């Protein structure tokens, strides 16, 4: 006989999505459709809509019109996230923040306080941490001594972010938009907290966000961690984390999907990052708490603070 724990009978969390774009269509909608804990009841977006779901032009109009909403997923560019999160929390809704959780550290800290004061759940989602091989990589690294780590995150911005103006504006993060995924993984799998020791950021002359970054970190055990982010990569794309360890070379590749140790493939599974994110969101709502790790965004802020800013050739889509 199946144990019955009350929550089997809880009705689904009534969810709204704000900012309907590519990531929502590619990832959020399938993940929500596959999770019985959530029911998508409406959206707010300037342009995008979802077939068969009520849509509104602004989050304010939506919150006003649909009091039944329990939670909102905020998927607009980070520069506009605080205002929407503030409105949602003030209206008593749980909030799922796409990555990065905001345009500044202080605004996210402010949202954490607001969520706490209202007894609501705030989720700063880091999807790459839920890539299939990430936990296995973490377990491997915990079992050995790490000599050095090399992160290579090189992709073609024209392919992955065609004509996304906001990503090149101040606060749009530039190459740190993908790079923060790498940072979210290494801050999760490495045994000690990192800190940046040296950085160079390359800004196209005609843009307000970097197209490349070269970052050197250390930790309390002085293990060197070198990360290279570049948006000018054509041909083979790289989202790899390589660790030299006492037990050999670990390669976590394809953005965390694949793990090999000393050339031997240990794990390669289809990714289900967004389904896992919504499982986690449901879990923290049920537990009545928030999940906001600021470490990845702190490293990005540190890179802008400490890094040399270099100008390079203009970039045109």
Angstrom distance (rounded) from CA 6 to CA 14: 18
Helix ranges, 34-175 (H): 59-65, 81-90, 105-118, 134-142, 157-160, 165-168
Closest CA to 58 of 43, 71, 44: 44
Angstrom distance (rounded) from CA 145 to CA 128: 24
The active-site residue out of 14, 93, 99, 310 is: 99
Angstrom distance (rounded) from CA 317 to CA 57: 28
Tell me the pairing of strands 194-204 and 308-312: parallel
Binding segment for a second copy (CB under 8 A), chosen from 134-142, 226-234, 277-285, 291-299, is: 291-299
Query: Which of 10, 193, 268, 317 is the binder for a second copy (CB under 8 A)?
Result: 193
306 part of the interface to a second copy, by CB under 8 A: yes
Question: Between 82 and 278, whose beta carbon lies closer to a second copy?
Answer: 82
Question: Between 107 and 283, whose beta carbon lies closer to a second copy?
Answer: 107
- Nearby residues of 310 by Cβ (< 8 Å), 6 or more positions away: 200, 201, 202, 203
Is 99 a residue of the active site?
A: yes
Binding segment for a second copy (CB under 8 A), chosen from 23-31, 131-139, 236-244, 296-304, is: 296-304
160 part of the interface to a second copy, by CB under 8 A: no
202 part of the interface to a second copy, by CB under 8 A: no
Query: Which of 39, 116, 219, 283 is the binder for a second copy (CB under 8 A)?
Result: 219
Question: Between 110 and 228, whose beta carbon lies closer to a second copy?
Answer: 110
Instruction: Scan residues 63-122 and list those touching a second copy (CB under 8 A).
Output: 82, 86, 103-107, 109-110, 113-114
| Whether the Cβ atoms of residue 49 and residue 72 lie closer than 8 Å to each other | no
Please give the full DSSP string across 103-126, using - where no structure is assigned. SSHHHHHHHHHHHHHHT--EEE--
58 part of the interface to a second copy, by CB under 8 A: no
Question: Between 98 and 302, whose beta carbon lies closer to a second copy?
Answer: 302
Cα 220 to Cα 10, 145, 262: the distances in Å are: 46, 14, 26
Q: Give the shortest CB-70-to-a second copy separation in angstroms.
A: 23
298 part of the interface to a second copy, by CB under 8 A: yes
- What count of residues does the chain have? 317
Question: Between 276 and 306, whose beta carbon lies closer to a second copy?
Answer: 306
Tell me the pairing of strands 258-261 and 264-268: antiparallel
| Whether the Cβ atoms of residue 112 and residue 290 lie closer than 8 Å to each other | yes
Q: Give the shortest CB-96-to-a second copy separation in angstroms.
A: 20
| Whether the Cβ atoms of residue 21 and residue 46 lie closer than 8 Å to each other | no
Q: Give the shortest CB-86-to-a second copy separation in angstroms.
A: 8
Question: Active-site residues: which are they?
Answer: 99
Rule CB under 8 A: which residues touch a second copy?
Answer: 82, 86, 103-107, 109-110, 113-114, 170-171, 193-196, 199, 203, 208, 219-220, 295, 298-302, 304-309
């Amino acid at each position: 006989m199946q144990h019955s724990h009350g929550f089997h009978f809880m009705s689904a969390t009534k969810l709204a999505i704000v900012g309907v774009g590519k990531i929502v269509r590619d990832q959020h909608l399938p993940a929500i459709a596959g999770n019985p804990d959530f029911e998508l009841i409406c959206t707010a977006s300037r342009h995008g809509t979802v077939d068969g779901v009520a849509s509104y032009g602004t989050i304010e109009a939506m919150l006003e019109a649909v009091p039944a909403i329990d939670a909102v997923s905020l998927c607009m560019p980070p520069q506009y996230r605080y205002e929407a999160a503030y409105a949602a929390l003030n209206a008593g809704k749980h909030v799922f923040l796409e990555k990065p959780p905001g345009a500044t550290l202080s605004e996210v800290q402010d949202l954490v306080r607001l969520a706490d004061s209202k007894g609501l759940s705030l989720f700063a989602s880091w999807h790459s941490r839920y890539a299939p091989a990430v936990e296995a990589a973490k377990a491997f690294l915990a079992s050995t001594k790490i000599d050095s780590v090399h992160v290579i995150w090189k992709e073609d911005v024209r392919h992955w972010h065609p004509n996304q103006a906001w990503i090149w504006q101040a606060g749009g993060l530039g190459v740190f938009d993908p790079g923060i995924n790498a940072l979210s993984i290494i801050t999760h799998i490495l045994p000690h907290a990192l800190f940046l020791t040296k950085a160079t950021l390359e800004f196209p002359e005609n843009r307000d966000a970097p197209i490349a970054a070269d970052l050197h970190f250390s930790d309390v055990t002085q293990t060197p961690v070198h990360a290279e982010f570049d948006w000018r990569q054509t041909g083979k794309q790289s989202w790899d984390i390589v660790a030299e360890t006492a037990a050999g070379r670990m390669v976590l590749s394809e953005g965390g999907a694949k793990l090999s140790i000393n050339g031997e493939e240990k794990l390669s599974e289809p990714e289900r990052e967004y389904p896992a994110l919504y499982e986690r969101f449901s879990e923290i709502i049920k537990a009545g708490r928030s999940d906001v790790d600021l470490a990845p965004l702190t490293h990005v802020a540190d890179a802008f603070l400490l890094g040399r800013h270099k100008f390079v050739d203009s970039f045109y889509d």
